[in-house]
Amino acid sequence: MAEILSVGIDIGTSTTQVIFSRIAMENTAAYFAVPHVSIVDKRVVYKSAVHVTPLRTPVLIDGDAVRDIVAAEFEKAGFTPADTGTGAVIITGESARKENAAVVLEKLSGFAGEFVVSTAGPDLESVIAGKGSGAWKDSVDHQCATVNLDVGGGTTNIVVFSRGDVAGKGCYDIGGRLIRVSPEGRIQSVSPAAAAAARDAGVSLSPGDRADVQTLSAVTGRMAQLLAEAMGLSRPTPLLRAVQTPGSTPLALPPRIDRICFSGGVADCIREDRTGDPFRFGDVGPLLGRSIREGLLYRSLPVLEAGETIRATVVGAGTYTTTLSGSTIAYDEDLFPMKNVPVLKLTEAEEAAAFRGEAETLADRMVWFAGQSDGSRMLLSLRGRRDPSYGEVKTLAASLSRAAELALPAEEPLLVALEEDMAKALGAAMSPLLRGRPMMAIDSVHTEDGDYLDLGRPLMNGLVIPLVVKTLLFG
């Protein structure tokens, strides 16, 4: 059994957190069978305090202050960056659209060793939070459809798990931090989405106004209604489309939803005692939590108690982002680790042409892709074929090798990822054709256009490669 230390760093609209997890891997195949390495255990070993995300201005994250938070938590946990084998830096919600998101990630990249994820896509955040909250496990354990709503400061990320598979995902600009309240009880700021909800609710909001509970409850009540609309409990209004987060996928729902789960900072406000100062966090999070609890969504569907609420995304990032390649693979070990490798996913027609031995069309697309991604390194993603013949493998190897010769500089490796289990045979066929060009062929990997891959050093005596499929998306 092998074990690696994973770090998860979540920089959200309201809070910043760090966790450390142990991820254990083991060859689960029978003694004389083809090796099959699986992740057999994931456990959190340290959770940081929940820090307020530091900002230089209302629109700029303070990267240096975030770095100081992370450095202090590494020290408290008793770990150094050299100890970590994998990790995820997730900038989420409104923070993902800050002007300096890339700068913050650059400042933090050294804290996750050689293998770090840097992503802010709303769809991926939905999935990560749903796994961290326990909704995914519930859908697996009970073979049902469980929906997780991660209600944070700037957005609500929704994912539908059907028997463990992602059946739908989406994100809306609905959150507790969209209206900020000063210690003096005055409205400090109102986001465009909150202003639209206020207009739809028939109330007026402006910075400087007194923070009136009744007025602001009308706005958070409208936000809660929008979530009910998103879940198919009432007819969708034009406002629902207007508050859909840019870059997110339109939410698809299954015919039946068995239960819903709430995570994110507002989730604690949904289930806690609703007495006390409604503006104690400097925003309308407690009011939004009350509106959700009293609204149609909470009353209409069975509610699953989340295992993690405010920590769901960071727990998901630290324990669920890393997966493994297949165990029959081929590669040059000097290539690793690799970070932020853009994926060129072949269409069905392009893949069929490659299996016929045609290389020129693929080479042209590779040249175009290199221009679009501002770099010559890329990973070719194919479905592959189940139980291909020796002739099919040789023909595909010749096509890919020839395309690399036409499209890539001599020093650039040919990187191939397949869904079907045929990488070792393909790598063996390509190797003599590449004339010394470095090569990697791995399988059991599913990617989409726009994805990037991080690939760590081979583990378990070289049997598998730890990897993360991700989307780098800065709005």
Domain count, the chain: 3
CA distance 87 to 261: 26
Instruction: Note whether 277 and 397 are same-domain residues.
Output: no
Co-location of 31 and 79 in the same domain: yes
- pLDDT tens digits, 291-332: 999 999 999 999 999 988 877 777 766 665 667 788 789 999
* Residue 298 falls in which region: left (phi positive, over 0), alpha (psi -120 to 50) or beta: alpha
Instruction: Specify if 219 maps to a domain.
Output: yes
Pair 263, 347 in one domain = no
Q: Specify if 315 maps to a domain.
A: no
- Domain-embedded: residue 291: yes
What proportion of the chain, given as a percentage, has pLDDT over 90?
57
Among the candidates 78, 93, 120, a domain finishes at: 120
**pLDDT tens by residue, 185-199:** 999 999 999 999 999
* C-alpha to C-alpha distance for 295 and 158, rounded to whole angstroms: 17
131 and 108 in a common domain: no
For residue 461, pLDDT over 90 is answered with no
Tell me what the mean pLDDT of segment 333-350 comes to.
89
> pLDDT digit string (tens) for 103-119?
777 787 777 665 555 55
* CA-based end-to-end distance of the chain: 41
Residue 319 maps to a domain:
no
Confidence of residue 33 (pLDDT cuts 50, 70, 90): very low
Chosen domain end from 310, 334, 368: 310
* Domain residue limits at 303: 124-310
CATH for 76: 3.30.420.40
**Predicted confidence band of residue 145 (pLDDT cuts 50, 70, 90):** very high
100 pLDDT more than 70: no
Neighbours of 66 (CB within 10 A): 24
Residue 219 scores a pLDDT above 50: yes
pLDDT tens-digit map of 49-60: 989 889 887 667
Residue type, 122: P
Instruction: Please tell me whether residues 85 and 133 are part of one structural domain.
Output: no
pLDDT of 318: 62
Residue among 314, 217, 224, 301 at smallest CA distance from 265? 314
Same domain flag for 207 and 233:
yes
Say yes or no: 116 and 138 in one domain: no
Mark whether 208 and 353 lie in a shared domain: no
What confidence tens digit (pLDDT) does each residue in 400-451 have? 999 999 999 999 999 999 999 999 999 999 999 999 999 999 998 888 766 7
pLDDT recorded at residue 72: 95
CA distance 443 to 437: 20
Distance CA 461, CA 153 (A): 44
Using 50, 70 and 90 to split pLDDT, how confident is the model at 275?
low
Global pTM? 0.73
Grouping H, G, I as helix, E, B as strand and the rest as coil, residue 308 is: coil
Nearest Cα to Cα of residue 7 among 38, 63, 47, 53: 47
Residue 423 lies in a domain: yes
Res 31: pLDDT: 52
Does residue 147 surpass a pLDDT of 90?
Answer: yes
